Amino acid sequence: MGSQQFEIVVRGRLSPTLVAAIEGFHVDRCEQGMTTLVGWVPDQARLHGLLRLLQDLNIELASINPVLCQAMPADRPENGQSQGGAHG
């Protein structure tokens, strides 16, 4: 798997501390009690690490989906290093 953008939906709201720890992801809170995280994942190891973090914190995963048909932004490094923190 090369670098790919994913949408991860979890139940509940994430604390500001956790949002800051999930570097490189844009975080949106929905009115239905869900939180959506969208970000670039450089490889399977990073994806599994993020999912493990959510599991370790007892955050219920609702869905995980690849974001199709979106090109990687020109300012996004190829190695997956973030240019800044998460939003939220």
pLDDT at position 31: 77
Structure tokens at 10: 């979890």
Summarised one tens digit per residue, pLDDT across range 24-60 is 899 998 878 999 999 999 999 999 999 999 999 899 9
Band of pLDDT at residue 19, cut at 50, 70 and 90: confident
Burial 46-75 (b: 16+ CB within 10 A, else e): bbeebeeebeeeebeeeeeeeeeeeeeeee
- Which of 36-40, 68-72, 82-86 is predicted with the least confidence, judged by mean pLDDT? 82-86
Please name which of 15, 16, 6, 56 lies closest in space to residue 36, comparing C-alpha atoms.
Answer: 6
The backbone torsions φ and ψ at residue 77, rounded to the nearest 5 degrees and listed phi first, read: -65, 145
Q: pTM for this structure?
A: 0.72
What is the CATH class of 4-66?
A: alpha beta
pLDDT at 86 over 80: no
